[in-house]
Amino acid sequence: MKINYTPRFAAFLVLGAITFLALGFTLGKKAGEITPATIEAASELFGLSFSPAEKDSMISNLNNQRSNYETLRKVSLDNSISPALVFNPLPMGFEPNLDQKTLDWGLPNQVTLPEKDVDIAYMPVHQLSVLLKNKQLSSERLTKIYLARIKTYSDTLQCLITLMESTALDKARAMDAELAAGKYRGPLHGIPYGIKDLLSVKGTKTTWGAMPYKDQEIDATATVVTKLDEAGAVLVGKFTLGALAMGDIWYGGVTKNPWNLKQGSSGSSAGSASAVSAGLVPFAIGTETLGSIVSPSTRNGVTGLRPTYGRVSKYGAMALSWSMDKIGSISRSSLDNGIVLSVINGRDAKDASSIQAAFNYEAKKDAKKLKVGYFKSYFEGDRPGQENDRKVLELLKSKGIELHPLELTTSVEAGPMVMMLMVEGAAAFDELSRLDLDDQLVAQGKNAWPNGFRAARLIPAVEYVQLARQRSVLIEEVNALMKDYDVIVTPSFGGRQLQITNLTGHPALCLPNGFNAQGSPTSITLLGNLFEEDKLILLGNYLQANSDWQAQRPPLFNH
């Protein structure tokens, strides 16, 4: 069996997982004497039992281990330092396709320029791109439209952390000048966008949405931002995220859902999804560890792409879980997300977990020739939103696409593996817990990060490794299940698929598919094989070309 953790992670396991709180010491306090009684208390937490002689024999080793902890804690590790052990999502024998072909987006030669700014603001990237290329619309004017909307609505939505007006206008004018001189960088040339504020940009603060870091400046620019800049995109702002990438609560408030201002926008890519939904930018960059693109895309009625783990460099992004963090885009259409992915994907020497793989898209390919499966049992019953999910299947069938029923079954449980995220998060924010800085976070409930990080310190390193081994089994089994299909359709929150595919690193495309009884958007998710996002984009674009779910606008922001 392949184990996906190469021998570069030993220090992390020691630092992040073996912490015996019950052995007589607490975070930030001097340890007391280790006795058989403290060992017994600790062993009960781990579900183990030792004889009196065994406990007595362990004491010297435990004292040595605790001394090692004290030595380790003399070194302060920046969040940007990744563990020595690198997660690899590739099943045994799997090799990504490296044959990069010329991309064909199938963009029209002409697009009609709307009269009203609001109608321009709600246009998808692939239409704005044509207008800019044909010089029907300047990047400067387009950027000013979005800057004005951000100034008007961002306070209402509580979605903005940093407005980058001056640099955005400078970049927009430069892109217009290049175009006038005959230089065209591609479909993102002159297109404004925003980023989740866990991505660093030199000269700006990068707050991670959390009070302890609200004035933090990082002297680095994230690789995805650099790549988008090189493609001609115009960065207009840094949007909110739930503190340390959880939910929609940040140090400045709660980011709102444009469809219902009494409701948060979900998270953790809260501001990115809210801003796209309200027409403040045509696309924004988000991240996902366990649903942070899918969930806010659903709540805000926008289209989110979670790429294959490793396809997009994480350099310059806040680390929460080195083995689960992924960076993707949120936009108004599947095709837009494909265009963005074509720019931000690729191996990066600054991110050891990044993987080189081709991303090929051909608009001429027939979506009807895709082999499409669906998780049959997830579409049954009367769960909220089920009717909208079934309408997607009906639409596909009506267009002549054959659907193949299957079930997502595995021999190992995904639920316990989420403890890996908690251990990695506790290690990433070790000093936040040990120095009591976690008290500054707004969210303090039992399911919030402060308590989760504390509890994670009681997860033994042995169990962490066992979880990693079971994760290898999960990767192989899910690959074996999915490799016979081009795309699998699933309710976005059906069963354990969201947990499972985030653990295995598979890509997902989340699309709007209607509204619930309360008038809030709902979504459907398309799953693909590793590094086969092109097939998700092809079917997603076909779905959106034959429906108008993604074209709806939140009424309060449609002016």
First-to-last alpha carbon distance for the chain, in angstroms, is 57
Q: Give the Cα separation of 68 and 474 in Å (integer).
A: 34
| Active-site residue, selected from the candidate residues 292, 323, 331, 433 | 292
Q: Give the Cα separation of 313 and 309 in Å (integer).
A: 9
| Active-site residue, selected from the candidate residues 268, 297, 331, 342 | 268
Q: Residue 61 CB: number of other CB atoms within 10 A?
A: 10
- The reply to whether omega before 268 is within 30° of 0 (cis) is yes
Report yes or no: 311 and 531 within 8 Å, Cβ to Cβ: yes
Q: Give the Cα separation of 256 and 540 in Å (integer).
A: 27
Give all strands (DSSP E) within 15-147, no chain letters.
none
Helix and strand totals (H; E) in the chain: 18, 15
Active site residue 411: no
- One-character DSSP codes across 242-311: STTSSSSEETTEEPEETTEEEEE--SSSHHHHHHHHTTS-SEEEEEESSSTTHHHHHHHT-EEEEPPTTS
Report yes or no: 244 and 273 within 8 Å, Cβ to Cβ: no
Q: Residue 446 CB: number of other CB atoms within 10 A?
A: 8
Q: Give the Cα separation of 30 and 37 in Å (integer).
A: 18
Across the strands, what pairs with 312?
A: 345
Cα separations (Å) of 68 from 29, 72, 73, 539? 15, 6, 9, 53
Of 4, 82, 535, nearest in space to 325 by CA: 82
Q: Give the Cα separation of 287 and 298 in Å (integer).
A: 14
Q: Residue 99 CB: number of other CB atoms within 10 A?
A: 6
Report yes or no: 497 and 527 within 8 Å, Cβ to Cβ: yes
Active site residue 292: yes
Q: Residue 435 CB: number of other CB atoms within 10 A?
A: 12
Helix (H, G, I), strand (E, B) or coil at 451: helix
| Active-site residue, selected from the candidate residues 55, 133, 144, 196 | 196
Overall residue count recorded for the chain in this entry: 559
Residue 120 — φ and ψ, nearest 5°? -65, -45
Active site residue 354: no
Q: Which residues are catalytic?
A: 196, 268, 292
